[in-house]
Structure 1
């Protein structure tokens, strides 16, 4: 008999919401005629990731790409453009609200700088529907780590095999998967729901 799923962990940017550093990097790449992968590696991995761990400031995380690529925007303008891509992913929100009513614990898990995360939560109104929200910045741990997952499992009193973790960044999933957590690499709502249904039924 397979274990009953008790906790569903849902990534924020890119799953719970539409709009992430992917869209911001695509916008920069298109406007400045740059290779997308190079832009994404610099914007997300080189600058945003350290900021999300508190190693550099949010301001520095936007100033870095501006300096490296010679962008004409100020860091405030680039941040505003980035935030403009943020919108609720309504099919995901609707499904998670339904599952929450059915008794599943839903956790919104994000890796973000506090000011930006607070602004996104307010803009989209996420706290109206979900009380369980963790920003890994507050843990001072990488999102893609066993330590982070152990903290989550302990907090919600669940075993790895009773947990599903959904993320649109495939590199966030392997450590959780090694622990026995069921993972879903989000590419579309339809694809995600099909995989989730298999785990829940």
Structure 2
């Protein structure tokens, strides 16, 4: 019997994409893609999600790629421009789950502790959660098993009564290894279908 539902945030409820910013900086799309694939990479960004300061992360790249300094500094200097609209379909599902009164709702997110307060101010539905565990604050991130366990322990969640939803299959597999039931998110329509099939909606 599921009584606890744990959501990832980025690409599930919140549309965050560096392309939104860098399309305004680069005239050439391939140049932009090369920059994000080789300089301000997802792996580099995840180190900030794991607790490294934005300043330290930026300084490391500027030292490595001084010719790209302005564009590197834009990543966090203009970070808000990477935030898009909420995924309204998923937000509506979250509202329905909340309004049912049947579930404890938590978020487990890989996110910098320094930028997360911006999201909290921007997206009011984040206040609907009973608790949010932010990787940058805890200095650990998905897919580390300890990060999932931290949420379970902090909120007294029975692992057999929990469901975890994430768009990143790596993180879904890690949750399953811990023993948490999962849904691999691909769209709000797919999530609604799976939640309905499991009699959770």
**Common fold by TM > 0.5:** yes
Q: 2:26 and 2:183 mapped to 1: Cα distance?
A: 28
Residues 31/167 of structure 1: CA separation in 2 closer, same or farther (3 Å cut): farther
Q: Deviations over 1:52-111 (max 9, x none)?
A: 2223x2134456389388375361x33365422422222212211221222211112211
Per the TM alignment, residue 20 of structure 1 is displaced from its structure 2 partner at its CA by: 3.6
Matched, 1:15 2:12: yes
Single out whichever of 184-193 and 61-70 deviates more from structure 2: 61-70
Paired position in structure 1 for 2:164:
165
| Count of aligned positions | 195
Paired position in structure 2 for 1:186:
185
Q: Which runs of 5+ in 2 are unaligned?
A: none
Per the TM alignment, residue 144 of structure 1 is displaced from its structure 2 partner at its CA by: 1.1
Maintained 8 Å contact 2:51/2:135: no
Equivalent of residue 53 in structure 1, options 50, 54, 64: 50
Runs of 4+ residues over 4 Å off in structure 1: 23-30, 34-38
TM-score by length of 1: 0.79
TM-score by length of 2: 0.79
Q: Which runs of 5+ in 1 are unaligned?
A: none
Aligned residue for 2:111, secondary structure, equals coil
Equivalent of residue 95 in structure 2, options 94, 97, 112: 97
Aligned residue for 2:40, secondary structure, equals helix
